[in-house]
Structure 1
Amino acid sequence: MNDQVIVLRAAAWVDVETGQRHTSAVIVVEGNRIAAIDPPELPAGAQVIDLGELTLLPGLMDMEVNLLIGGPDNPSGLPNPMHGVQDDPVYRTLRATVNAGTTLHAGFTTVRNLGLMVKTGGYLLDVDLGRAIEQGWIAGPRIVAAGHAITPTGGHLDPTMFQRLAPHIMPLSVEEGRANGVPQVRESVRYQIKYGAEVIKISASGGVMSHGTVAGAQQYSDEELVAIVDEAHRAGVRVAAHAHGDAGIRACIRAGVDCIEHGSLATDDTIAMMVEHGTYLVPTSYLSEGLDVSKAAPALQKKAAEVFPRARETLRRAIHAGVKIACGTDAPAIPHGHNAKELWALVDRGMTPAQALRAATVTSAELIGVEDRGRLAPGLLADIIAVPGDPTADISVIEDVRFVMKDGHIHKNS
């Protein structure tokens, strides 16, 4: 552990709970924790780092990324459509180390890696990536790993549906997430948890960028959804569901799913159900602008043109209704490192900048059940970033991260 005492000076710091920007910031870091904010006197012998006119914030959080795809060999967005059969687990993991560093340098110090959608032979690559980061072997955000996304045959998260592969080209096991019927979905959940998954990701409706799936169609039966949630919750693990369609979202809420990813086609009644049940929403809304579908198949482009405008309006209504909304990008559907664009999208859809910052900090911390981060306060982890200007007035400055500290270690200081 780093036992050095560091003092950060800056023009201001943001209390993301209240949305207030305090001028003249001094934060004392001892080891990997925040020791004090604006203390009356500084500790003797501390290293003082003057960040000038920057504003200090807690490290941001992205609740939906996939670090194992996209990245350095395809920096503009989605990976080569044949990556599912061309890339082996070693190459994927090496790519993920680059994507992890890119994400950390963008100011995101915690992420959920929300479901491997690739063949790995049963290895949970995101769990191992998180372990390597935790042990300091490589730089990256803290990872809440889902292991393999759990999907029915032909579901949106069935990896063969993204490439439209012929039969038997990429056989997948229950351990790798393809599971049908109550006994298999229970087995798949148990496998992911056995090998380190801290959240379960499931495919509850069709998707936009998968062939042969109707975006709004419910994919798992009510009985299968209940079994998945029961299995996860008994182990103390939360469940996140990919769900665009209204029927699938309602079935997930009834089953006790903790978080809906996308939620694009939810009706007002379903939004009210989310508020009543305390179900979180991770809207991944910047996909509407940031996902490059120009090279996608015509059928997929058509789905995007139909779903994305409705998704933007759904989010506006969800914000107005008071749904608990956390920040998530679905990177690499938008390029790794562009994660802060999601905060712009949240503001564009109706949040204040302060509310968007809260979605990427306090609410995201609540979603993953942690109390040691997401704010600047004594005793919390020293995950601290700095940006120019006032992000409570202009959310776009969050895209220009100049300083990143995670766990008391400085990873970026430009």
Structure 2
Amino acid sequence: MHAPGLVVMHQGRITQVGGVAPAGAAVIEAGDATLLPGFIDAQVHLTSEIRPGFDTEPVRETAVDGAITGVANAYKTLRAGFTTVRNVGSGGFADVALMRAVDRGTILGPRIIPAAHALGITGGHCDITGFAPGIRERGPQEGIANGADEFTTAVREQLKHGAKVIKICATAGVLSFEESVGAQQMSEAELRAVVEEASRHGVKVAAHAHGVVGIKAAVRAGVASIEHGSILDDEAIALMKERGTYLVPTRALGGLIDMAALPPLLRGKAEQILPMADASFRKAVAAGVKVALGTDAAVMPHGLNAKEFAVMVDAGMTPLQALQAGTLNGADLLGTPDRGQLVVGMLADLVAVPGNPLTDITSTERPVLVIKGGVRID
């Protein structure tokens, strides 16, 4: 909505769009700005940050450290205009604690959809690797499982303790110490077990997946989204379109990650995969794969989430498509139909950006007003 325009809010909801303000209503002037639905980031890790020594933090810090880190990052994210996030993995159920603190009004932050522990195999991307045997060995409650039965248990453990989405590591990754960056790690039986159990509870599954074999296996199993999707071939793209699977590309991090903080093995993997991921994203956009904005914030600095918009446009999306990826599409992927649009009845989660983002998409990086639940965020 461009100036002049009007949105009326009452009790945390949008009650009027356009027209004349009701008599006696308090007025917030946004100036020469464009009013948008609050942004949605479908891929964050609020309780983590990439910094020197991050790879040894699992044996030096506790979930309490992560939760405290998350308090600061939640506020940065909200001030950046992101009023809803999907947190795709935190140790010790710290993201569940953050969600509760935000919902109670104890801290300021976006609406959080937590995954609790991301699920993966022993020695895989979701495991804590690089340490001697016996150090931080983990089981299904902490997300580490082997075989369909254990993965079913792992899903139930996350849901028991407050998860609202399930995150899996279907393939190897960059920020872990296995040699491969994209090899399939979860078997098809394990993937199906996770999706089937999550579906029984009405919960969606997000799949970290870099390599094409693991991507296709995860899509066939019925995941809602592929995170990263770094190596896509024509078959994978066609399969994602057929199944309606979202791609959450996390591309802005390529220019924002602190490479100096990465150990040599991880730095080498990042340098290998980033150009491939950029090329795959361009192919997916050209083919019309559904896209939802996600940043992997933690790998890139929290609070810079809106930089993803410009990267999506650079990859071939129109500014309108990029904005939809960070609003309407995000709401669809997250299963939260009460946000993502400026429509009567929606949550009063709003962000105003200077000028017109359809002509300058980088204006999304400079919000002049953020409102969550009808309350201005300062």
Task: Report TM bin, short chain.
Answer: over 0.9
Shift of 1:128: 1.9
The answer to whether the Cα contact below 8 Å between 1:259 and 1:280 also exists between their aligned partners in 2 is yes
**In the alignment, structure 1 residue 35 sits paired with structure 2 residue 9:** no
Runs of 5+ in structure 2 lacking a partner?
none
Letter in 2 for 1:205: T
**Which residue in 2 is equivalent to 1:55?**
34
Match of 1:150 in 2: 119
**How far is the alpha carbon of 1:68 from its aligned partner?**
0.9
The answer to which of 296-305 and 53-62 deviates more is 296-305
Return the offset for 1:272.
0.8
Counterparts of 1:279 and 1:205, CA distance in 2:
17
Gaps (5+ residues) in structure 1?
1-12, 14-21
Q: Does 1:329 align with 2:295?
A: yes
Task: Name the structure where helix makes up a greater proportion of residues.
Answer: 2
CA–CA separation in structure 1 for the residues paired with 2:42 and 2:303: 14
Residue 217 of structure 1: how far off its partner (Å): 0.3
1:134 to 97, 103, 109: 103
Structure 1 residue 302: deviation in Å? Answer: 2.0
Q: Which amino acid aligns with 1:25?
A: G
CA distance in 2 between counterparts of 1:371 and 1:212 reads 39
Alignment of 1:148-187 (within 5 A): 148-158=117-127, 160-161=128-129, 164-187=130-153
Q: Given residue 58 of structure 1, which amino acid in structure 2 is its aligned partner?
A: P
Q: CA deviation at 1:42?
A: 2.1
Separation (CA, whole Å) in 2 of partners of 1:338 and 1:390: 19
The whole-number CA distance in structure 2 between the counterparts of 1:310 and 1:191 is: 35
The CA distance in 1 between the partners of 2:347 and 2:52, in whole Å, is: 33
* Corresponding residue to 1:350 among 286, 294, 316: 316
SS at match of 2:304: coil
1:2-401 → structure 2 map (5 Å cutoff): 13=1, 22-39=2-19, 41-70=20-49, 80-116=54-90, 118=91, 120=92, 124-158=93-127, 160-161=128-129, 164-401=130-367
Q: What TM-score does the superposition give when structure 2 sets the normalisation length?
A: 0.97
SS at match of 1:294: helix
Alpha-carbon distance in 2 for matches of 1:89, 1:256: 31
Q: Report the CA distance between 1:171 and its aligned residue.
A: 2.1
Q: Name the CA distance, whole Å, in 1 between partners of 2:156 and 2:318.
A: 40
Contact 1:78–1:335 (Cα < 8 Å) also in 2: no
Distance 2:60 2:263 in 1: 20
- What secondary structure, in the 3-state scheme, does the structure 2 residue paired with 1:250 have? helix
3-state SS of paired residue (1:50): coil
Corresponding position of 1:19: none
Structure (1 or 2) with the greater strand fraction = 1
The letter for the 1-side match of 2:12 is N
Question: Any idea what the Cα deviations from partners look like across 1:11-39, whole Å, max 9, x if unmatched?
Answer: xx1xxxxxxxx441111111201111121
Equivalent AA in structure 2 for residue 95 of structure 1: T
Q: For the structure 1 residues 378 and 280, does the alpha-carbon distance in structure 2 shift closer, same or farther, using more than 3 Å as the test?
A: same
How far off is 1:234 after superposition? 1.1
Q: Say which SS state the counterpart of residue 81 (structure 1) adopts.
A: helix
Question: Kindly tell me: are residues 310 and 82 of structure 1, through their superposed partners in 2, closer, same or farther at Cα, counting changes over 3 Å?
Answer: same
Partner Cα separation in structure 1 for residue 56 and residue 267 of structure 2: 18
Q: Distance in 1 between matches of 2:53 and 2:229?
A: 24
Cα distance in 1 for partners of 2:226, 2:179 equals 18
Q: Is the 8 A contact 1:28 1:36 kept in 2?
A: yes
CA contact (8 A) 1:156 1:213 kept: no
CA-CA distance at 1:334 after TM superposition: 0.4
Give the residue type in structure 2 aligned to 1:370: T
After TM superposition, the runs of 4+ consecutive aligned structure 1 residues lying more than 4 A away are: none
Letter of the structure 1 residue corresponding to residue 81 of structure 2:
G
Q: 1:79 deviation in Å? A: 6.7
Secondary structure in structure 2 of the residue aligned to 1:308: helix
SS for the counterpart of 1:333 is: coil
**Partner residue in 2 for 1:3:** none
3-state SS of 1:24 partner: coil
Distance in 2, matches of 1:79 and 1:145, equals: 25
Quote how far apart the aligned CAs of 1:306 are.
1.6
> Would you say the 8 A contact 1:383–1:406 is kept in 2?
yes
C-alpha displacement of 1:78: 7.4
| SS of the residue 2:15 aligns to | strand
Kindly indicate whether the alpha-carbon contact (under 8 Å) linking 1:29 and 1:408 is maintained by their aligned counterparts in 2.
yes
Q: What SS does the aligned partner of 1:275 have?
A: helix
Count of residues in Structure 1 that have an aligned counterpart in Structure 2: 378
| Contact 2:206 2:225 (8 Å CA) reproduced | yes
Q: TM-score, with normalisation over the residues of structure 1?
A: 0.89
Task: Give the C-alpha shift of residue 401 in structure 1.
Answer: 1.0
The reply on whether 1:403 has 2:372 as its aligned counterpart is no
**Distance in 1 (alpha carbons) for counterparts of 2:28 and 2:261:** 46
Relative distance call for 1:78 and 1:282 in structure 2 (3 A) is farther
Aligned residue for 2:261, secondary structure, equals: coil
Q: 1:76-101, CA deviations, whole angstroms, 9 ceiling, x for partnerless residues?
A: x5773222112122222122111111
Deviations 1:115-174 (A, max 9, x none): 12x3x3xxx22112111111111110001111110010111111x22xx22221212121
Structure 1 letter corresponding to 2:114: A
- Deviation track 1:248-289 (CA, whole Å, cap 9, x = no partner) reads 001011111111000000111111110011111101011221
Q: Percent identity?
A: 47
